[in-house]
Amino acid sequence: MIDALWGWPPPVLDPAGPYSGKVTTLAWSLFGLGAFVTLVVVFALWVAIKGPDKWKAKLGGERAILLGGVAFPGVVLTALLVWGLTLTASLTEPIHGDEMRIRVTGEMWWFRVQYLDPSGAVVMEDANEIHIPVGRPVVLELESADVIHSFWVPHLSGKKDMIPGRRTLLRIEADRPGEFGGVCAEYCGRQHALMGFVAVAHEDDDFREWYAERNERLVSAGLDITRQVESSSGSGTQGSERSTVTRTGAGANTNSGQQSGRTLFMQSGCAACHRVAGTEANGLAGPDLTHVGSRRTLGAGILPNNRGTLIGWIGDSQSLKPGNRMPSYDMLNADELEAIAIWLEQQK
């Protein structure tokens, strides 16, 4: 799935925003300078071995050493260092305007995604998918829940480590709409290679619509988006009990699997690790499933998302991503797995 999003040209050479553009320019400049210096050195080598005596003498002279061996590298390397450091710093500048804020937490082996309001309160939670508007810088607050991970969407910005106990910042911005693959870029354990995500950049209007849709769903479930999120971090009961009532009716228009899918989800222990806003499912250990039905991928960017892959993941996640922290629910039968999958499909 991630491969499909990367394609050709390689995303590092195909910037889709100003921050990644700057990184690519620096990379090409380094490459160009490197090539130039290599040519000069090869030429000097030729002079030293087979060149005319007059040139040899010049090459061995003090002037050549001072100019080519001290002045040139001194100036060029210093300039590059300043360029590189200022560029890196510009990627990690804190908020100074109305930038959007998103907190992304690396967990073994997936990405927790929390949309923040300007005051820093969580307004919406999701996983392994980051939606941003085109043409607006977004400041990511990167954290880790366990080991060091690294956040990297080559189309949109540079890499930034996610370090336990610390908050790092990274700016991303897209200047065209599209889906951009991202990965964990720091070895973080057995399933490091299967830890990815998708960044989706929307035109401004689409983004507003997307946001409003999600919001509306929560509101129709009797939830004030902000209050719900607060309650999930504090005393969760009062908020969720109220919403349980509203939610039962909300999507109950499919087949008979519907009612039991929801019940099975709650009874089989899924709710202990997963949260579905507006239901009693309020687990925080695993990815938030409130919007799982609208996601493009499952299992942290690795599988397409459809009923079949949902069933496969729930029933057999240990074959698909061995060692991941979700057990295979192979104690459920096919009908039960399907019922849960159908219910999850509706959690847009």
Partner 1 sequence: MGMGSVEHRNWKAIVAGVALAACAALAACKDPVETRREPAIGPKDRGLIAIKRAGCGSCHEIPGLDWPSGRLGPSLDGFDDVGLIAGQLPNRPDVLAAFIRNAPSVKEGSSMPPMPISEAEAADIAAYLYGLDHD
Q: Which chain residues interact with ligand HEC by CB under 6 A?
A: 308-309, 311-312
| Candidate list 198, 303, 339, 340; residue touching partner 1; CB under 8 A | 303
CB 300 within 8 Å of CB 109: yes
- Residue 249 contacts which entry, partner 1, ligand HEC, none (Cβ below 5-8 A, type-dependent): none
Binding mask 306-345 for partner 1 (x = CB under 8 A): xxxx-xxx-xx--xx---------x---xx--x--x----
User: Given CA atoms 152, 11, 116, 227 in this order, what sign does their dihedral have?
Assistant: negative
- Residue 303 contacts which entry, ligand HEC, partner 1, none (Cβ below 5-8 A, type-dependent): partner 1
Size of the site for partner 1 (CB under 8 A): 24
- Residue 9 contacts which entry, partner 1, ligand HEC, none (Cβ below 5-8 A, type-dependent): partner 1
Q: If you search the block for the tokens 């057990």, which residue do you land on?
A: 327
Binding mask 4-43 for partner 1 (x = CB under 8 A): x---xx----------------------------------
Q: How many helices (H) and strands (E) does the chain have?
A: 12, 12
Residues 6+ apart with CB under 8 A from 116: 101, 102, 103, 122, 123, 141
Q: Quick one: which of 93, 141, 126, 84 has its CA closest to 291? A: 126
- Residue 313 contacts which entry, ligand HEC, partner 1, none (Cβ below 5-8 A, type-dependent): partner 1
Q: Distance (Å, rounded) from C-alpha 215 to C-alpha 207? A: 12
Minimal distance, residue 309 CB to ligand HEC, in Å: 6
Question: Is 191 a binder of partner 1 (CB under 8 A)?
Answer: no
Minimal distance, residue 288 CB to partner 1, in Å: 21
User: Which DSSP string corresponds to 214-276?
Assistant: HHHHHHHTT--HHHHHHHHHS--HHHHHHHHHHHHHHTTTS-THHHHHHHHHHHTTHHHH-B-
User: Which DSSP string corresponds to 187-205?
Assistant: --STTGGG-EEEEEEE-HH
Minimal distance, residue 341 CB to ligand HEC, in Å: 8
Taking the least distance from each CB to ligand HEC, the nearer of 290 and 305 is: 305
Q: Quick one: which of 312, 125, 311, 339 has its CA closest to 252? A: 339
Interface ranges with partner 1 (CB under 8 A): 4, 8-9, 50, 52, 302-304, 306-309, 311-313, 315-316, 319-320, 330, 334-335, 338, 341
